[in-house]
Structure 1
């Protein structure tokens, strides 16, 4: 089983704005604090132990979108890009 790599997540967050990949919410502008959550685009349980995580393996999400992604993954078994498309459509309504 692959292990979580907080170093990759810290580097990604340090080099990125606090903007949600799905709804484009800029957490810092809205709430005045830097905050964003890192989501594994592919569940970590599917990686082999030899896999080395990179920043491309993560999406930066606001807490609401992050929770919604996990609900859709569990409920419908959808992959991240499918969920992103679905949620972006919902945000546009």
Structure 2
């Protein structure tokens, strides 16, 4: 059995922070007048044991474009989240 996603943790992280993408710095609210941001698991949730509880620091807040790009890079390159961020912010 694997760890489960936590909507409560994701919601808490979103509410406690701004609506700014951690990679491209797009402020979704300023640009679109919509309070929206996506929570990305920095480490794939499938790698955690069932006993692991998701913590706020396990999540990154990303705009939809950066979130998709991170997933594509994870799938194609197998790089870790921090390595992908370095590639995307160059």
Normalising by the smaller structure, the TM-score range is over 0.9
2:51 paired residue number: 50
4+ runs deviating over 2 angstroms: none
Deviations 1:51-74 (A, max 9, x none): 111100000000000000000000
Offset, 1:22: 0.3
1:67 paired residue number: 68
Offset, 1:20: 0.3
Q: Give the root-mean-square deviation of aligned CA atoms.
A: 0.4
Offset, 1:23: 0.4
Gaps of 5+ in 2: none
Offset, 1:15: 0.5
1:78 paired residue number: 79
What is the TM-score with the length of structure 1 in the denominator?
0.94
Offset, 1:39: 0.2
Gaps of 5+ in 1: none
1:14 paired residue number: 15
What is the TM-score with the length of structure 2 in the denominator?
0.97
